Amino acid sequence: MAIPAQPWSTLTPEEKRGRIYAAADELFAREGVDAAMPVLADALGVGVGSIYRQVGSKDDLVGRLVIVRAGILRDRFASASAAADAWQALVEATHATVDDCLDDALSQSAWDAAASSSDAVREARQAATDALAELVAAARAAGTLRDDASHEDLRLLFCALREVAGIGRAGAHRLADLVLRGIAIR
């Protein structure tokens, strides 16, 4: 993690928070939420207290990063809902989310825990879930999904991948294909 040349003491509070969020995003995505705050502080070249003064507790910091991720999912699913080919959009959005599950240790380790302590995180996650439900509804309306197919089928896939990420990329995408085939009419 490279530290920008501008000294910490010359940054505005907003710039400090931006630097913290960027470094924390990289660290927690790579190592998960068990990464120690002193590691983050070392990467930033500051003390742990400087981080807490800017962003609150570690839970607050992780919560904000989960909110950002939930927003990315919401936007992905909403965009896919508007696509002309609902089935292809569902497949592409599902596989992109599988990659997120595999590549992002923060998503794997903090998605549920962060929601248990924050209304804002719960609301962001619900918005992503609602967008996924709309995407599945669009695919069903296009005649590509079984009547009993639900967004919960895909949520189960994503939750499972957080638990079994060790199956590897090919295995994870194979599992996604199996779930998608299971809910498709085709």
Q: What is the pLDDT of residues 24-70, one digit of tens each?
A: 999 988 888 889 999 999 999 999 999 999 999 998 999 999 999 99
How confident is the model at residue 110, as a pLDDT? 75
Residue 104: pLDDT band (50, 70, 90) is confident
Residue 4: pLDDT band (50, 70, 90) is low
In degrees and rounded to multiples of 5, residue 146 shows phi and psi of -60, 155
To 10 degrees, what angle do helices 58-81 and 105-116 make?
Answer: 110
Reply yes or no on whether the pLDDT at 163 is more than 90.
Answer: no
CA angle 27-31-32, nearest 5°?
95
Task: Dump pLDDT digits (tens) for 70-88.
Answer: 999 999 999 999 999 999 9
Q: What is the chain's mean pLDDT, rounded?
A: 90
Reply yes or no on whether the pLDDT at 3 is more than 60.
Answer: no
Residue 2: pLDDT band (50, 70, 90) is low
Task: Dump pLDDT digits (tens) for 125-140.
Answer: 999 999 999 999 999 9
How confident is the model at residue 18, as a pLDDT? 94
Q: Which of 167, 168, 98, 127 is nearest to 90 (CA)?
A: 98
Beta strand spans in 31-158 (E): none
Dist CA 70 CA 120 (whole Å): 11
How confident is the model at residue 72, as a pLDDT? 94
Q: Rounded mean pLDDT of 111-137?
A: 89
Distances (CA, A) of 113 to 4, 36, 46, 150, 153: 31, 17, 27, 24, 21
Dist CA 40 CA 55 (whole Å): 13
Dist CA 64 CA 56 (whole Å): 11
Q: Which of 110, 136, 115 is nearest to 125 (CA)?
A: 115
